[in-house]
Amino acid sequence: MDVQLVGVIGSGTMGNGIAQTFAQRGFDVRLIDVSAPALEKAKATIAKSLGKFVEKGTLSAEDRDATLGRLAFFGSIDHLADADYVVEAIVEQREAKRALFGKLDALVRPEVVLATNTSSISITDIAAATQRPEQVLGMHFMNPVPLMQLVELIRGQSTSDASMALAESLCARLGKTGVPASDYPGFIANRILMPMINEAVFALMEGVGTAEAIDSVMKLGMNHPMGPLTLADFIGLDVCVAILDVMHQGLGDPKYRACPLLRRMVAAGHLGRKSGRGFYHYA
């Protein structure tokens, strides 16, 4: 089907990045969030991001203005009844996603594909909350969305070839590479990434090295662009715990058990960049 109007639900870091990326590529976008302050913050974040592209000379002022003109912000999913494609980017919680997909299933046209940006939760489980499981898939964007090329495309048990092909074609229109993955906890990216981050936290807890030393080893020795603890702060320590819990529960292997230090930091509200404090302090 021809996709022009895209609905994005959730205006946090991932949601506003996804909305911006679609709008920059010529799609009309409706960004939905029940929180008015969150929507206002998303507007400012998108405007700032586009402004940086203009400053760097990679986007003209005219294209920036056109992108902003293709974005609309609403507080209810009722505004997505005529959407051609929907991407969900709300909190990483199974029941919240299932409840939302049940509502979307009753709202949007029968032929519309529903995508979730989940980074770990079963696509099959989310799809089971709808009457269109063949039109539900995972579209896991990477952060920051406007810059990162990869999109994991996760096929649920019932996801059709047509739905996967549509998602892949949208990735191409966005200038991104869609890489297929199967519906296992953590998929590809977090199945590999989260154990590394978790082990780095264990190394810190056990005094193997300081946060700076651990990150330096991975940057200078393994040529990673940023160390695992810096990356954890960037992702959000609460998100890391949530993903590890899904993997631990789904795979049953103790190697996915979240480090006690990581859980303690989350309990203390030290969530990384978004809270101003994690493994490092942020102004």
Per the residue annotation, which of 140, 163, 198, 270 is the catalytic one? 140
* Dist. CA 34–CA 85, nearest whole Å: 20
- 223 catalytic residue (yes or no): no
Segment 249-275 mean pLDDT: 96
Is 206 noted as a catalytic residue in this protein?
Answer: no
pLDDT at site 171: 98
CA-CA distance, 95 to 26, in Å (whole number)? 33
**8 Å CB contact between 259 and 266:** no
**Distance between CA atoms of 163 and 141, rounded to whole angstroms?**
17
What are the tens digits of pLDDT across the range 202-255?
A: 999 999 999 999 999 999 999 999 999 999 999 999 999 999 999 999 999 999
Contacts for 49 with CB less than 8 Å, ≥ 6 apart: 17, 20, 144, 146
With 90 as the cut, is the pLDDT of residue 1 above it?
Answer: no
Cβ–Cβ contacts within 10 Å for residue 193, how many? 18
Pairing of strands 177-182, 5-9: unpaired
Q: Cis before residue 146, ω within 30 degrees of 0?
A: no
Helix (H) or strand (E) holding 78: none
Distance linking the first and last C-alpha atoms of the chain: 46
Give me the residue label for tokens 């942020």.
282
Q: Which tens digit of pLDDT belongs to each residue from 157-201?
A: 999 999 999 999 999 999 999 999 999 999 999 999 999 999 999
Order across the sheet with 85-88: list the strands.
Answer: 71-74, 28-32, 5-9, 85-88, 113-116, 136-141, 150-155, 177-182
Q: Average pLDDT, whole number, for the chain?
A: 97
Residue type, 194: M
Active-site choice (152, 198, 248, 270): 152
119 is catalytic: yes
| Separation between Cα atoms, residue 122 and residue 137, nearest integer Å | 10
In 3D space, the residue among 164, 220, 226, 221 whose CA is nearest the CA of residue 193 turns out to be 226
Looking at the chain, the whole-number percentage of residues with pLDDT higher than 70 is 100
> From the candidates 117, 190, 198, 270, which is the catalytic residue?
190
Report, as an integer, the average pLDDT of 39-48. Answer: 97
DSSP E strands, 104-147: 113-116, 136-141
Of these residues, 16, 119, 122, 198, which one is catalytic?
119
Contacts from 70-73 at CB under 8 Å and sequence distance 24+?
Answer: 70/23, 70/26, 70/27, 70/28, 70/29, 71/19, 71/20, 71/23, 71/29, 71/31, 71/46, 72/28, 72/29, 72/30, 72/31, 73/11, 73/30, 73/31, 73/32, 73/33, 73/39, 73/42, 73/43
Report the pLDDT value the prediction gives residue 283, as an integer from 0 to 100: 84
- Tokens representing residue 81 in the block: 């009844």
The answer to whether residue 119 scores a pLDDT higher than 80 is yes
Local confidence band at 122 (pLDDT 50, 70, 90 cut-offs):
very high
Environment class of 133 (CB within 10 Å of its CB; exposed 0-12, middle 13-18, buried 19+): buried
For 18, the token pair is 């996804």
- Is 143 part of the annotated catalytic residue set? no
Check if the beta carbon of residue 194 is closer than 8 Å to that of residue 247: yes
pLDDT bin (cut points 50, 70, 90) of residue 23 is: very high
**Secondary-structure breakdown of the chain: helix, strand, coil percentages, each rounded to the nearest 5:** 50, 15, 35
